[in-house]
Structure 1
């Protein structure tokens, strides 16, 4: 792979695991609304990286779209208050790695999460000074390939790579015309990638040596 001019990271399953907090944000709202649904960690982990409309259709199949959207908005409001308290698990080597990588590359985070969640993650992890910009699906409700190209246009990026943990991340990278770097320690699996790393330190070392 030729040296990229920038690194765009997925968030969930690539930089951290906050599935327990995400599940709690669903379950606390279902309890308050007296809805007989329980979201488990295992169930939610399989949906990490999906756009919100697909997640809510799976979790609430018996509700119409208007009710799903209302509940999802309520869940996301609660999630914004829970994340700073509960946080998640930052993967080994991420904080140190981003610090190193940011000395050599502009670093971005692009995720299919709700608006405001990436900023909460950045603040919780203490990585603000290493991140050039971020973009969440909830800002414009567009797919990742569109938002990858949007970041490229906004920041004049010519040869970024997208780094993620699911087959969907790979598909969206292809649609955007950028190389896909797969991290195998996350929530997904795929054989369609340009590079693969089993831990964040290996990824950091590779791009620092390019």
Structure 2
């Protein structure tokens, strides 16, 4: 059956917003009274995890009674900073997406917070390229469920998911969707079935 659609992960696949995101995290940490800083590398390392897991595993120094306040401050700063500073597209993403949309329906599924995908789309004026998107922040569902949601909601017949982490691969498999590994991204996957070394490789890939 002919491939009809491509679902993309966001961080490490379409763009790198770690410099903006780390600024939001560090300013939020300061605001709740801690003199601790994380690095943009740490942000890239936990990219792809669900937000509640990120807060639990990487910000355990924030006491439970302050966690909700920290999360609320971070959500506000993340959105504000993304609107202002955005992130960096990987090479040839815009041109490649414009070519892909002539042959495939395009979607995004990410484990990000509510509003993150909208900020990405708005920053680059990508409204005409992506038909639909879903994220953990909207519904609290893990990535495999959100991939299935996009598939069912849009009646996709033969989609593929493009992502850069082992969590992306596992989620795709769980959702019953073929997976393409973006080897230029943040994660490392051993012996993937299909991989791309740059985003524009999607134009020449037989998938």
Q: TM-score, normalised by structure 2?
A: 0.94
**Pairing 1:96–2:91 present:** no
Please state whether the residue corresponding to 2:75 is helix, strand or coil: helix
Unaligned runs of 5+ in 2: none
Change (3 A) 1:66 1:107: farther
Matched positions, count: 207
Q: Which residue of 2 aligns with 1:197?
A: 196
Please state whether the residue corresponding to 1:206 is helix, strand or coil: coil
**Pairing 1:8–2:7 present:** yes
Q: Which residue of 2 aligns with 1:56?
A: 55
Equivalent pair of 2:32/2:66 in contact (CA under 8 Å): no
Q: What displacement does 1:35 show? A: 1.5
Equivalent pair of 1:57/1:68 in contact (CA under 8 Å): no
Q: What displacement does 1:136 show? A: 1.3
Equivalent pair of 2:113/2:138 in contact (CA under 8 Å): yes
Please state whether the residue corresponding to 1:8 is helix, strand or coil: strand
Q: What displacement does 1:192 show? A: 5.1
Unaligned runs of 5+ in 1: none
Q: Please identify, of 64-73 and 37-46, the stretch whose mean Cα deviation from structure 2 is larger.
A: 64-73
- Please give the residue correspondences for 1:69-148 in structure 2 after superposition, counting only pairs within 5 Å: 69-148=68-147
Instruction: Give the root-mean-square deviation of aligned CA atoms.
Output: 1.5
Q: Tell me how far apart the structure 1 counterparts of residues 38 and 185 of structure 2 sit (CA, whole Å).
A: 20
Q: Which residue of 2 aligns with 1:46?
A: 45
Q: TM-score, normalised by structure 1?
A: 0.93
Q: Please identify, of 72-81 and 167-176, the stretch whose mean Cα deviation from structure 2 is larger.
A: 72-81
Q: Please identify, of 194-203 and 56-65, the stretch whose mean Cα deviation from structure 2 is larger.
A: 56-65
Q: Which residue of 1 aligns with 2:168?
A: 169
Please state whether the residue corresponding to 2:162 is helix, strand or coil: strand
Equivalent pair of 2:109/2:143 in contact (CA under 8 Å): yes
Q: Tell me how far apart the structure 2 counterparts of residues 162 and 6 of structure 1 sit (CA, whole Å).
A: 9
